[in-house]
């Protein structure tokens, strides 16, 4: 059935972005986090981003009001009983995602597709925890969601063709291009990207170059829009570490071992932009 109401669980960087692009595409969005205050904080972040778009003349004030009017914040998954399609975007922690998926399975109508924005956890494993593995799929948005064009769609072993087509269709409605990846550790994007970021941290750890020189080298030397350490700060170092752990455990191959320095930064709470400090320091 057509998606009129999308549920998004997790109002962090990704969840808020997903709710925003859905609302911009005319879809009602219910944005859920652990409590109402955090969900409201996600909605406030969207408000700020939209205000900048209005200032830059990319959007009118009326359009902004209409988009915001389509986003409702909620403090519990029970609010998603009316959703037609759900994307979960909670932190990259398998136990947490497993709990969210089983809660969604109990709350949402049986015809509702449960998509996960996981960067690396097997879709097949998450799907098997529900009574509807045919309606569980990976819908991997890129960061920042309003800017990045790609959605990687990942089919679990049991995902149906119908679910696949509905997900691709929704991503297109949200203005995104899709690629299909097999349900293997890291899918396409992170299977290639994360080892590069991890290697940049190794290069820093071994003193091969400074933070700035590693980034400038990769930016100017390989024509990337930003250096790997800047990108890691942007993604979140906790997310980078979690993905490397999945690649490492999922393949059993030591070439994916996370760098000790990456682990230490995460232990220090230096998670990148979102905490104000990662490989760089951020203000405000």
Contacts to ligand NAD by CB under 6 A: 9-15, 32-34, 38, 89-92, 96, 100, 117-119, 140-143, 235-236, 239, 274
Q: Are strands 71-74 and 150-155 parallel, antiparallel or unpaired?
A: unpaired
Q: Least distance from C-beta 240 to ligand NAD, angstroms? A: 9
Q: Least distance from C-beta 47 to ligand NAD, angstroms? A: 16
Burial annotation 94-122 (CB, 10 A radius, 16+ → b, else e):
beebbebbebbbebbeeebbbbbbbbbbb
Q: Which is nearer to ligand NAD, 90 or 218 (CB)?
A: 90
How many Å apart are CA 82 and CA 80, to the nearest integer?
A: 5
Cis peptide bond upstream of 144, omega within 30? yes
Of the candidates 27, 157, 26, 147, the residue with the CA atom closest to the CA atom of residue 86: 27
140 is an active site residue: yes
Report helix, strand or coil for 113.
strand
Q: Which is nearer to ligand NAD, 40 or 63 (CB)?
A: 40
How many Å apart are CA 34 and CA 47, to the nearest integer?
A: 20
Please count the other Cβ atoms lying within 10 Å of the Cβ belonging to residue 238.
21
Q: Which is nearer to ligand NAD, 54 or 150 (CB)?
A: 150
Candidate list 117, 119, 120, 198, residue with the active-site label: 119
Q: Least distance from C-beta 60 to ligand NAD, angstroms? A: 28
Which residue has the closest beta carbon to ligand NAD? 12
Residue 160, exposed/middle/buried by CB under 10 A (0-12, 13-18, 19+)? middle
Q: Which is nearer to ligand NAD, 2 or 34 (CB)?
A: 34
Report helix, strand or coil for 110.
coil
How many Å apart are CA 241 and CA 268, to the nearest integer?
A: 13
Candidate list 190, 212, 248, 249, residue with the active-site label: 190
Q: Which is nearer to ligand NAD, 54 or 142 (CB)?
A: 142
Q: Which is nearer to ligand NAD, 19 or 203 (CB)?
A: 19
Residue 92: how many CA atoms within 13 Å on its side-chain side? 22
Candidate list 28, 92, 140, 198, residue with the active-site label: 140
Q: Least distance from C-beta 39 to ligand NAD, angstroms? A: 8
Copy the structure tokens of residue 65: 């009001």
Q: Least distance from C-beta 189 to ligand NAD, angstroms? A: 8
Q: Least distance from C-beta 11 to ligand NAD, angstroms? A: 5
Positions marked catalytic: 119, 140, 152, 190
């Amino acid at each position: 059935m057509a998606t009129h109401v999308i549920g998004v669980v997790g109002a962090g960087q990704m969840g808020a972005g997903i709710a925003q692009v859905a609302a911009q595409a005319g879809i009602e969005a219910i944005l859920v986090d652990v409590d109402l205050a955090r969900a409201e904080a996600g909605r406030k972040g969207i408000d700020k981003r939209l205000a900048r778009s209005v200032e830059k003349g990319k959007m009118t004030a009326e359009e902004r009001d209409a988009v915001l009017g389509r986003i409702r914040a909620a403090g519990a998954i029970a609010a998603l009983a009316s959703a037609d399609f759900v994307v979960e975007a909670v932190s990259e922690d398998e136990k947490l995602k497993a709990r969210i998926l089983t809660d969604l399975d109990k709350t949402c109508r049986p015809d509702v597709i449960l998509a996960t924005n996981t960067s690396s956890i097997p879709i097949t494993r998450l799907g098997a925890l529900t009574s509807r593995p045919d309606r569980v799929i990976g819908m991997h948005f890129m960061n920042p969601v309003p800017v990045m064009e790609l959605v990687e769609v990942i089919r679990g072993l049991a995902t149906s063709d119908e679910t696949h087509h509905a997900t691709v269709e929704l991503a297109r409605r949200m203005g995104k291009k899709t690629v299909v990846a097999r349900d293997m550790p890291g899918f396409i994007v992170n299977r290639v990207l994360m080892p590069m970021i991890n290697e940049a941290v190794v290069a820093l750890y071994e003193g091969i170059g400074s933070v700035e020189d590693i980034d400038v080298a990769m930016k100017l030397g390989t024509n990337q829009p930003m250096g790997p350490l800047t990108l890691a700060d942007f993604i979140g170092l906790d997310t980078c570490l979690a993905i490397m752990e999945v690649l490492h455990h999922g393949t059993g191959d030591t070439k994916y071992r996370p760098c000790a320095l990456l682990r230490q930064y995460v232990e220090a709470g230096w998670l990148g932009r979102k905490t104000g400090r990662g490989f760089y320091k951020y203000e405000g």
